[in-house]
Chains A and B, each alone.
Chain A
Amino acid sequence: MSVEQEVRDFVVRNFFYGDQSVPLADADSFIERGIIDSTGVLEIVHFVESRYGIVLSDDELVPENLDSIARIARFVRAKQGTAGGAAP
Protein backbone atom coordinates (compact mmCIF):
# COMPACT_ATOMS: atom_id res chain seq x y z
CA MET A 1 0.00 0.00 0.00
CA SER A 2 1.34 3.48 -0.84
CA VAL A 3 2.17 5.99 1.88
CA GLU A 4 -0.60 8.19 0.47
CA GLN A 5 -3.15 5.39 0.91
CA GLU A 6 -1.95 4.59 4.43
CA VAL A 7 -2.19 8.25 5.45
CA ARG A 8 -5.62 8.50 3.86
CA ASP A 9 -6.78 5.43 5.77
CA PHE A 10 -5.47 6.97 9.00
CA VAL A 11 -7.22 10.30 8.35
CA VAL A 12 -10.51 8.66 7.42
CA ARG A 13 -10.38 6.34 10.42
CA ASN A 14 -9.17 8.91 12.92
CA PHE A 15 -10.80 12.17 11.85
CA PHE A 16 -13.81 11.06 9.76
CA TYR A 17 -14.62 8.03 11.96
CA GLY A 18 -14.58 5.71 8.98
CA ASP A 19 -16.82 7.80 6.74
CA GLN A 20 -15.34 7.20 3.28
CA SER A 21 -17.79 9.58 1.62
CA VAL A 22 -16.10 12.76 2.87
CA PRO A 23 -14.22 14.17 -0.13
CA LEU A 24 -10.51 14.68 0.52
CA ALA A 25 -7.90 15.32 -2.15
CA ASP A 26 -4.27 14.40 -1.50
CA ALA A 27 -3.37 18.10 -1.63
CA ASP A 28 -6.15 19.34 0.70
CA SER A 29 -4.87 21.25 3.75
CA PHE A 30 -5.96 19.61 7.01
CA ILE A 31 -5.91 23.00 8.71
CA GLU A 32 -7.89 24.86 6.06
CA ARG A 33 -10.42 22.04 5.90
CA GLY A 34 -10.84 22.22 9.68
CA ILE A 35 -9.81 18.58 10.03
CA ILE A 36 -7.16 19.07 12.72
CA ASP A 37 -6.46 21.41 15.62
CA SER A 38 -3.53 21.49 18.08
CA THR A 39 -4.46 18.05 19.37
CA GLY A 40 -4.81 16.81 15.81
CA VAL A 41 -1.24 17.90 15.13
CA LEU A 42 -0.12 15.63 17.97
CA GLU A 43 -2.24 12.81 16.55
CA ILE A 44 -0.60 13.10 13.14
CA VAL A 45 2.85 13.24 14.72
CA HIS A 46 2.05 10.11 16.71
CA PHE A 47 0.85 8.31 13.57
CA VAL A 48 3.90 9.26 11.50
CA GLU A 49 6.38 8.41 14.25
CA SER A 50 4.79 5.10 15.22
CA ARG A 51 3.87 3.88 11.72
CA TYR A 52 7.13 4.79 9.99
CA GLY A 53 9.63 4.64 12.86
CA ILE A 54 10.55 8.28 12.34
CA VAL A 55 11.38 10.76 15.09
CA LEU A 56 10.26 14.30 14.27
CA SER A 57 12.16 17.27 15.63
CA ASP A 58 10.19 20.40 16.54
CA ASP A 59 11.75 22.12 13.54
CA GLU A 60 10.15 19.55 11.25
CA LEU A 61 6.74 20.11 12.76
CA VAL A 62 5.56 22.52 10.09
CA PRO A 63 2.56 22.51 7.74
CA GLU A 64 4.89 22.02 4.79
CA ASN A 65 5.67 18.53 6.09
CA LEU A 66 2.39 17.46 7.65
CA ASP A 67 -0.61 19.47 6.46
CA SER A 68 -1.95 17.18 3.72
CA ILE A 69 -1.81 13.58 2.62
CA ALA A 70 0.63 14.51 -0.16
CA ARG A 71 2.88 16.51 2.16
CA ILE A 72 3.05 13.74 4.75
CA ALA A 73 3.85 11.17 2.06
CA ARG A 74 6.61 13.36 0.65
CA PHE A 75 8.01 13.99 4.12
CA VAL A 76 7.95 10.32 5.07
CA ARG A 77 9.72 9.31 1.87
CA ALA A 78 12.33 12.01 2.38
CA LYS A 79 12.95 10.90 5.96
CA GLN A 80 13.24 7.33 4.79
CA GLY A 81 15.76 8.53 2.22
CA THR A 82 13.87 7.24 -0.79
CA ALA A 83 13.04 10.51 -2.58
CA GLY A 84 12.86 14.30 -2.35
CA GLY A 85 13.66 16.29 0.80
CA ALA A 86 11.83 17.24 3.97
CA ALA A 87 11.55 20.82 5.23
CA PRO A 88 13.38 22.54 6.70
Chain B
Amino acid sequence: MSRSGGLHPWLRIDAAATVATLCAKLREAVHGALRRKGAVIGLSGGIDSSVSAALAVRALGPDRVLALLLPERESSPRSRELGAMVAGQLGAACFTEDLTAALEAVGCYRRRDEAIRAVFPDYGPGWRSTIAAAEKTTGAERFTWFKLVVESPAGERREQRVPLREYLEIVAATSFKQRLRKATEYFHADRLHYAVVGTPNRLEYDQGFFVKNGDGAADVKPIAHLYKSQVYELGRFLGLPEPVLSARPTTDTYSLEQGQDEFYFVLPYETMDLVLFGLNDGRTAEAIASATDLGVERVRIVLRDILDRRRATAPLHRMPMLLEPVPEIEANFAP
Protein backbone atom coordinates (compact mmCIF):
# COMPACT_ATOMS: atom_id res chain seq x y z
CA MET B 1 0.00 0.00 0.00
CA SER B 2 1.31 3.43 -0.81
CA ARG B 3 1.92 6.02 1.89
CA SER B 4 -1.27 7.89 1.03
CA GLY B 5 -2.84 8.27 4.43
CA GLY B 6 -3.51 11.92 3.60
CA LEU B 7 -1.30 14.84 4.42
CA HIS B 8 -1.63 16.55 7.76
CA PRO B 9 -3.25 19.98 7.22
CA TRP B 10 0.06 21.67 8.02
CA LEU B 11 1.71 19.97 5.08
CA ARG B 12 -1.05 20.05 2.47
CA ILE B 13 -0.02 21.26 -0.96
CA ASP B 14 -1.69 21.63 -4.34
CA ALA B 15 0.29 18.95 -6.13
CA ALA B 16 -0.64 20.04 -9.66
CA ALA B 17 0.25 23.68 -9.03
CA THR B 18 3.45 22.73 -7.21
CA VAL B 19 4.58 20.51 -10.07
CA ALA B 20 3.83 23.22 -12.65
CA THR B 21 5.79 25.82 -10.68
CA LEU B 22 8.75 23.55 -10.01
CA CYS B 23 8.98 22.48 -13.66
CA ALA B 24 9.06 26.10 -14.83
CA LYS B 25 11.74 26.95 -12.27
CA LEU B 26 13.78 23.85 -13.05
CA ARG B 27 13.70 24.62 -16.76
CA GLU B 28 14.88 28.17 -16.07
CA ALA B 29 17.60 26.91 -13.72
CA VAL B 30 19.01 24.35 -16.15
CA HIS B 31 18.72 26.22 -19.45
CA GLY B 32 18.96 29.75 -18.00
CA ALA B 33 21.15 30.17 -14.95
CA LEU B 34 23.22 27.01 -15.48
CA ARG B 35 23.17 27.15 -19.31
CA ARG B 36 23.08 23.37 -19.63
CA LYS B 37 21.24 21.28 -22.22
CA GLY B 38 19.69 18.74 -19.91
CA ALA B 39 19.96 16.97 -16.59
CA VAL B 40 21.71 13.95 -15.09
CA ILE B 41 20.16 12.31 -12.09
CA GLY B 42 21.22 9.32 -10.04
CA LEU B 43 18.20 7.11 -9.43
CA SER B 44 18.15 5.14 -6.20
CA GLY B 45 14.64 3.81 -6.55
CA GLY B 46 13.64 5.96 -3.57
CA ILE B 47 10.91 8.56 -3.59
CA ASP B 48 13.19 11.62 -3.65
CA SER B 49 15.25 10.76 -6.70
CA SER B 50 12.18 9.37 -8.47
CA VAL B 51 10.16 12.56 -7.98
CA SER B 52 13.16 14.68 -8.94
CA ALA B 53 13.60 12.66 -12.14
CA ALA B 54 9.91 12.92 -12.97
CA LEU B 55 10.06 16.69 -12.51
CA ALA B 56 13.16 16.87 -14.72
CA VAL B 57 11.47 14.86 -17.47
CA ARG B 58 8.38 17.09 -17.30
CA ALA B 59 10.50 20.23 -17.28
CA LEU B 60 13.08 19.35 -19.93
CA GLY B 61 11.63 16.43 -21.89
CA PRO B 62 12.65 12.76 -21.68
CA ASP B 63 15.30 13.18 -24.36
CA ARG B 64 17.14 15.70 -22.16
CA VAL B 65 17.34 13.62 -19.01
CA LEU B 66 19.88 10.87 -18.29
CA ALA B 67 19.02 8.57 -15.41
CA LEU B 68 21.99 6.81 -13.82
CA LEU B 69 21.83 3.59 -11.84
CA LEU B 70 24.97 3.34 -9.69
CA PRO B 71 24.99 -0.01 -7.90
CA GLU B 72 27.91 -1.48 -5.99
CA ARG B 73 28.36 -4.85 -4.40
CA GLU B 74 26.58 -3.91 -1.19
CA SER B 75 23.66 -1.91 -2.58
CA SER B 76 20.25 -3.45 -2.65
CA PRO B 77 19.32 -5.14 -5.96
CA ARG B 78 15.86 -3.76 -5.28
CA SER B 79 17.21 -0.20 -5.59
CA ARG B 80 18.46 -0.97 -9.05
CA GLU B 81 15.19 -2.61 -10.07
CA LEU B 82 13.10 0.28 -8.83
CA GLY B 83 15.41 2.84 -10.44
CA ALA B 84 15.17 1.06 -13.77
CA MET B 85 11.39 0.85 -13.39
CA VAL B 86 11.15 4.61 -12.84
CA ALA B 87 13.48 5.45 -15.72
CA GLY B 88 11.46 3.15 -17.99
CA GLN B 89 8.18 4.71 -16.98
CA LEU B 90 9.54 8.22 -17.53
CA GLY B 91 11.02 7.33 -20.92
CA ALA B 92 14.39 8.76 -19.97
CA ALA B 93 17.68 7.30 -21.14
CA CYS B 94 19.10 5.06 -18.45
CA PHE B 95 22.67 3.99 -17.93
CA THR B 96 24.10 1.62 -15.33
CA GLU B 97 27.59 1.96 -13.89
CA ASP B 98 28.69 -0.55 -11.27
CA LEU B 99 30.96 1.28 -8.83
CA THR B 100 32.33 -1.80 -7.04
CA ALA B 101 35.71 -1.80 -8.77
CA ALA B 102 36.19 1.92 -8.21
CA LEU B 103 35.25 1.59 -4.53
CA GLU B 104 37.66 -1.30 -4.14
CA ALA B 105 40.40 0.74 -5.79
CA VAL B 106 40.06 3.64 -3.33
CA GLY B 107 39.89 1.24 -0.37
CA CYS B 108 36.32 2.01 0.67
CA TYR B 109 35.48 -1.53 1.80
CA ARG B 110 38.95 -2.35 3.17
CA ARG B 111 39.31 0.79 5.26
CA ARG B 112 35.79 0.43 6.65
CA ASP B 113 36.21 -3.26 7.43
CA GLU B 114 39.49 -2.68 9.27
CA ALA B 115 37.73 -0.15 11.50
CA ILE B 116 34.83 -2.55 12.09
CA ARG B 117 37.23 -5.36 13.02
CA ALA B 118 38.72 -3.13 15.71
CA VAL B 119 35.30 -3.33 17.38
CA PHE B 120 34.20 -6.81 16.27
CA PRO B 121 37.32 -8.94 15.57
CA ASP B 122 35.19 -11.77 14.08
CA TYR B 123 33.84 -9.51 11.34
CA GLY B 124 34.85 -10.76 7.91
CA PRO B 125 33.62 -11.86 4.50
CA GLY B 126 29.88 -12.46 4.38
CA TRP B 127 29.17 -10.25 7.38
CA ARG B 128 27.07 -7.14 7.02
CA SER B 129 27.20 -3.92 9.00
CA THR B 130 25.56 -0.60 9.60
CA ILE B 131 25.75 2.43 11.84
CA ALA B 132 22.60 3.25 13.83
CA ALA B 133 21.65 6.15 16.06
CA ALA B 134 21.23 5.45 19.76
CA GLU B 135 19.82 7.70 22.41
CA LYS B 136 19.39 7.93 26.16
CA THR B 137 16.81 10.25 27.65
CA THR B 138 16.57 11.26 31.28
CA GLY B 139 13.80 13.71 32.04
CA ALA B 140 14.08 16.58 29.60
CA GLU B 141 17.69 15.78 28.69
CA ARG B 142 18.96 13.51 25.99
CA PHE B 143 22.25 12.26 24.59
CA THR B 144 22.52 10.72 21.15
CA TRP B 145 25.44 8.73 19.84
CA PHE B 146 26.11 5.98 17.34
CA LYS B 147 26.31 2.23 17.58
CA LEU B 148 27.83 -0.24 15.18
CA VAL B 149 25.58 -3.14 14.22
CA VAL B 150 26.97 -6.25 12.53
CA GLU B 151 25.33 -9.45 11.36
CA SER B 152 27.21 -12.70 10.81
CA PRO B 153 26.58 -14.91 7.78
CA ALA B 154 24.54 -17.14 10.12
CA GLY B 155 22.27 -14.21 10.96
CA GLU B 156 23.60 -13.52 14.45
CA ARG B 157 23.30 -9.80 15.12
CA ARG B 158 25.55 -7.89 17.51
CA GLU B 159 25.73 -4.22 18.34
CA GLN B 160 28.04 -2.03 20.34
CA ARG B 161 28.68 1.63 20.89
CA VAL B 162 31.30 2.60 18.37
CA PRO B 163 34.43 4.35 19.66
CA LEU B 164 35.20 7.77 18.23
CA ARG B 165 38.14 6.86 16.02
CA GLU B 166 36.44 3.84 14.48
CA TYR B 167 33.20 5.76 13.99
CA LEU B 168 34.95 8.51 12.06
CA GLU B 169 36.92 5.97 10.02
CA ILE B 170 33.80 3.99 9.08
CA VAL B 171 31.86 7.10 8.07
CA ALA B 172 34.81 8.53 6.13
CA ALA B 173 35.35 5.26 4.22
CA THR B 174 31.66 4.80 3.54
CA SER B 175 31.38 8.35 2.22
CA PHE B 176 33.45 7.21 -0.75
CA LYS B 177 30.20 5.69 -1.99
CA GLN B 178 28.33 8.99 -2.17
CA ARG B 179 31.38 10.78 -3.54
CA LEU B 180 32.05 8.27 -6.31
CA ARG B 181 28.37 8.25 -7.23
CA LYS B 182 28.54 12.01 -7.60
CA ALA B 183 31.84 11.91 -9.52
CA THR B 184 30.20 9.52 -11.97
CA GLU B 185 27.15 11.75 -12.32
CA TYR B 186 29.44 14.68 -13.14
CA PHE B 187 31.35 12.61 -15.69
CA HIS B 188 28.15 12.05 -17.63
CA ALA B 189 26.98 15.62 -17.06
CA ASP B 190 30.24 16.98 -18.48
CA ARG B 191 30.25 14.74 -21.54
CA LEU B 192 26.64 15.71 -22.35
CA HIS B 193 26.86 19.34 -21.19
CA TYR B 194 24.10 18.59 -18.72
CA ALA B 195 23.48 19.78 -15.14
CA VAL B 196 23.46 17.44 -12.15
CA VAL B 197 20.21 17.29 -10.22
CA GLY B 198 20.51 16.74 -6.47
CA THR B 199 17.65 15.06 -4.67
CA PRO B 200 17.51 16.00 -0.98
CA ASN B 201 14.14 16.65 0.60
CA ARG B 202 13.73 19.39 3.20
CA LEU B 203 14.36 17.19 6.21
CA GLU B 204 17.64 15.91 4.76
CA TYR B 205 18.69 19.35 3.57
CA ASP B 206 17.81 21.09 6.85
CA GLN B 207 19.44 18.46 9.06
CA GLY B 208 22.59 18.01 6.96
CA PHE B 209 21.80 14.43 6.11
CA PHE B 210 24.21 14.26 3.20
CA VAL B 211 27.88 13.84 2.43
CA LYS B 212 29.61 17.07 1.49
CA ASN B 213 30.87 16.82 -2.08
CA GLY B 214 28.96 13.53 -2.27
CA ASP B 215 25.20 13.44 -2.47
CA GLY B 216 25.30 17.01 -1.18
CA ALA B 217 26.85 18.18 -4.46
CA ALA B 218 24.62 19.22 -7.34
CA ASP B 219 23.85 22.09 -9.70
CA VAL B 220 20.19 22.29 -8.72
CA LYS B 221 18.11 20.72 -5.94
CA PRO B 222 14.46 20.90 -6.98
CA ILE B 223 12.78 19.41 -3.90
CA ALA B 224 15.03 20.69 -1.10
CA HIS B 225 12.21 22.93 0.18
CA LEU B 226 9.61 20.11 0.33
CA TYR B 227 8.94 17.98 3.40
CA LYS B 228 9.25 14.28 2.72
CA SER B 229 5.50 13.74 3.15
CA GLN B 230 4.97 16.33 0.42
CA VAL B 231 7.46 14.57 -1.83
CA TYR B 232 5.36 11.40 -1.51
CA GLU B 233 2.30 13.50 -2.39
CA LEU B 234 3.99 14.72 -5.57
CA GLY B 235 5.03 11.15 -6.32
CA ARG B 236 1.41 10.04 -6.20
CA PHE B 237 0.35 12.97 -8.38
CA LEU B 238 3.10 12.18 -10.89
CA GLY B 239 1.93 8.57 -11.05
CA LEU B 240 5.18 6.97 -9.96
CA PRO B 241 5.20 3.17 -9.69
CA GLU B 242 3.46 1.78 -6.63
CA PRO B 243 6.60 0.02 -5.25
CA VAL B 244 8.39 3.38 -5.16
CA LEU B 245 5.47 5.02 -3.35
CA SER B 246 5.32 2.29 -0.75
CA ALA B 247 9.04 1.68 -0.19
CA ARG B 248 10.49 2.49 3.22
CA PRO B 249 13.23 5.13 2.93
CA THR B 250 16.72 3.67 3.32
CA THR B 251 20.18 5.08 2.84
CA ASP B 252 21.34 2.08 0.77
CA THR B 253 24.86 2.90 1.87
CA TYR B 254 25.56 0.24 4.46
CA SER B 255 25.50 -3.49 3.76
CA LEU B 256 22.99 -4.19 6.50
CA GLU B 257 19.62 -2.69 5.68
CA GLN B 258 19.23 0.63 7.39
CA GLY B 259 16.28 2.99 7.50
CA GLN B 260 17.03 6.70 7.42
CA ASP B 261 15.17 7.03 10.68
CA GLU B 262 17.45 4.45 12.32
CA PHE B 263 20.57 6.21 11.18
CA TYR B 264 19.77 9.78 11.73
CA PHE B 265 16.34 10.91 12.68
CA VAL B 266 15.42 8.36 15.38
CA LEU B 267 11.74 9.16 14.65
CA PRO B 268 9.78 8.26 11.49
CA TYR B 269 9.92 10.91 8.78
CA GLU B 270 6.17 11.62 9.00
CA THR B 271 6.67 12.77 12.58
CA MET B 272 9.92 14.60 11.86
CA ASP B 273 8.18 16.50 9.04
CA LEU B 274 5.52 17.78 11.42
CA VAL B 275 7.97 18.76 14.13
CA LEU B 276 10.19 20.56 11.64
CA PHE B 277 7.23 22.33 10.07
CA GLY B 278 6.00 23.33 13.52
CA LEU B 279 9.42 24.75 14.38
CA ASN B 280 9.73 26.63 11.08
CA ASP B 281 6.17 27.97 11.35
CA GLY B 282 6.54 29.15 14.93
CA ARG B 283 4.09 26.65 16.46
CA THR B 284 4.23 25.89 20.17
CA ALA B 285 5.48 22.57 21.55
CA GLU B 286 1.92 21.90 22.70
CA ALA B 287 0.55 22.42 19.18
CA ILE B 288 3.24 20.15 17.73
CA ALA B 289 2.44 17.51 20.33
CA SER B 290 -1.22 17.66 19.26
CA ALA B 291 -0.23 17.25 15.62
CA THR B 292 1.95 14.23 16.36
CA ASP B 293 1.67 11.30 18.71
CA LEU B 294 4.49 12.68 20.87
CA GLY B 295 4.23 14.12 24.37
CA VAL B 296 5.10 17.77 24.94
CA GLU B 297 8.39 16.93 26.70
CA ARG B 298 9.41 14.67 23.86
CA VAL B 299 8.58 17.40 21.35
CA ARG B 300 10.81 19.83 23.23
CA ILE B 301 13.67 17.35 23.10
CA VAL B 302 13.20 16.76 19.36
CA LEU B 303 13.03 20.51 18.73
CA ARG B 304 16.31 20.97 20.53
CA ASP B 305 17.82 18.09 18.58
CA ILE B 306 16.77 19.71 15.32
CA LEU B 307 18.38 23.01 16.29
CA ASP B 308 21.51 21.25 17.56
CA ARG B 309 21.87 19.27 14.36
CA ARG B 310 21.25 22.34 12.23
CA ARG B 311 24.09 24.07 14.02
CA ALA B 312 26.36 21.01 13.92
CA THR B 313 25.89 20.45 10.18
CA ALA B 314 25.99 24.10 9.10
CA PRO B 315 29.57 23.70 7.75
CA LEU B 316 28.30 21.08 5.28
CA HIS B 317 26.24 23.80 3.57
CA ARG B 318 29.10 26.24 3.26
CA MET B 319 30.71 26.99 -0.05
CA PRO B 320 34.52 26.92 0.16
CA MET B 321 35.38 29.93 2.29
CA LEU B 322 37.35 32.77 0.80
CA LEU B 323 39.38 34.76 3.26
CA GLU B 324 38.96 37.94 1.23
CA PRO B 325 36.06 38.74 -1.16
CA VAL B 326 36.31 38.31 -4.93
CA PRO B 327 33.34 40.51 -5.93
CA GLU B 328 33.84 40.18 -9.69
CA ILE B 329 32.88 36.51 -9.52
CA GLU B 330 29.95 36.98 -7.13
CA ALA B 331 28.58 39.61 -9.57
CA ASN B 332 28.07 36.82 -12.11
CA PHE B 333 25.39 35.29 -9.90
CA ALA B 334 23.23 38.43 -9.88
CA PRO B 335 19.75 37.72 -11.24
Contacts and interface: CB of A to CB of B under 8 A. Distances in A.
Interface of A: 31, 34, 37-39, 41-43, 45-46, 58-59, 61-64, 66-67, 87-88
Interface of B: 133-134, 136, 138, 141-146, 161-165, 167-168, 304, 308-309, 311-312
Contacts of B133: 38
Given A31-B308, A42-B146, A59 B167 contact: no
Contacts of B144: 38, 41
Given A41-B143, A46-B165, A58-B161, 16 more contacts: A31-B141, A31-B143, A38-B133, A38-B312, A39-B168, A39-B312, A41-B145, A42-B146, A46-B164, A58-B134, A59-B136, A61-B136, A61-B143, A62-B136, A63-B138, A64-B138
A35 to B, nearest CB: 10
A9 to B, nearest CB: 18
Is the contact region of chain A dominated by helix, strand, or loop, or is it mixed?
Answer: helix
A67 to B, nearest CB: 7
Given A34-B308, A39-B164, A42-B163, A67 B143 contact: yes
Nearest to B313: A37
B138 A39 contact: no
A15 B332 CA distance: 38
B141 A63 contact: yes
Contacts of B143: 31, 41, 61-63, 66-67
A45 B164 contact: yes
B141 A64 contact: yes
Contact of B164 (A31, A42, A63, A67): A42
Contact of B142 (A37, A45, A46, A63): A63
Contacts of B167: 39, 42
B275 to A, nearest CB: 18
Contacts of A62: 136, 138, 141, 143
A46 B134 CA distance: 17
A37 B136 CA distance: 14
A42 B138 contact: no
A58 B146 CA distance: 11
Nearest to B140: A63
Nearest to B163: A46
Q: Which of A38, A45, A64, A87 has the most CB of B within 10 A?
A: A38
24 contacts: A38-B133, A38-B144, A38-B145, A39-B164, A39-B312, A41-B145, A42-B162, A42-B164, A43-B164, A45-B145, A45-B161, A45-B163, A58-B134, A61-B143, A61-B161, A62-B136, A62-B143, A63-B141, A63-B142, A64-B138, A64-B141, A67-B143, A87-B138, A88-B138
